[in-house]
Structure 1
Amino acid sequence: MSGSERRVPCVGGLLFDARGRLLLIRRGHDPGRGLWSLPGGRVESGEDDAAALVREMAEETGLVVVPGRHVGTVVRGGYVIADYLCEAVGGELAAGDDADEAKFVDAAEFAALPKVDLLAETLAEWAVLPRAFP
């Protein structure tokens, strides 16, 4: 990346339900249209990561969240994505904004879904994959 290209700061949310299923969204726009990913998006001017995460989670999933600990950061193209654990404290799960669908998935469903590049590998490295059920 040349010095003239800037990296776009973004956030992503890792939200698990009581059964250990992970919340994913199916992207409705590029990059990654039609692929499953963590909910999240760009940090807007004047926002910190926590404010951006609360806004993006509400826009894409309908859920009100409290951001938790930082899990890791990835660079994908010109995007620098800081991912955080979240706790849902309100709202109703519903896809919105650029998400075509939002749902909690267990390990088997996660493995079968078409996902954005390196999502499974990154979450495995961070030890934050959804739980498997017998």
Structure 2
Amino acid sequence: MGAIIIDASDRLLLIKRGRPPGAGLWSIPGGRLEPGETDEAGVRREVLEETGLRVEVGRLAGAVDRPGPGGATYAIRDYLATVAGGELVAGDDAADARWCGRDELLRLPLSEGLLESLRAWDVLPWPPPTSS
């Protein structure tokens, strides 16, 4: 599960994955649930571990299945969330963490399918780029 967090300046919070899968790619904060953990608790824990931020978890934005190592399939549920406190700092398996505007988001090497999913779920605060 993951957290889609947009600040008051319409920037999306992204982390740079420090470990596989997706090492070196930018994505929203998130990860695996611990045994017995709810999605909400898992989102709060993962965001805190990876970014130093405490969040309030909102509604489910969407869900996708992604291929994992060894033929595994990850069922990923991403939730809208808002920052409730803390200070942004990369931690745990995040090599970096930052707020990104539209132009930066389009330039970064993103996790496979991330941008397409965010657009399909209509959660980005800006329109997609127009074709010329």
Unaligned runs of 5+ in 2: 68-72, 128-132
The answer (yes or no) to whether the contact 1:105–1:130 under 8 Å persists in 2 is no
Q: 1:26 aligns with which of 16, 37, 40?
A: 16
1:122 to 113, 117, 120: 117
Give TM-score scaled by structure 2 length: 0.89
Aligned length: 122
Other-structure match for 2:79: 84
SS at match of 2:43: helix
User: What's the RMSD between the two structures over aligned residues?
Assistant: 1.0
Shift of 1:131: 3.4
CA apart distance, 1:130: 4.7
Structure 1 moving runs of 4+ over 2 Å: 129-132
Q: Quick one: structure 1 residues 64 and 30, their matched pair in 2 at CA, closer, same or farther if it must change by over 3 Å?
A: same
Q: Deviations over 1:38-61 (max 9, x none)?
A: 100001101000000010000000
2:39 aligned partner, one-letter code: D
> What is the aligned partner in structure 2 of residue 17 from structure 1?
7
Structure 1 unmatched runs, 5+: 1-10
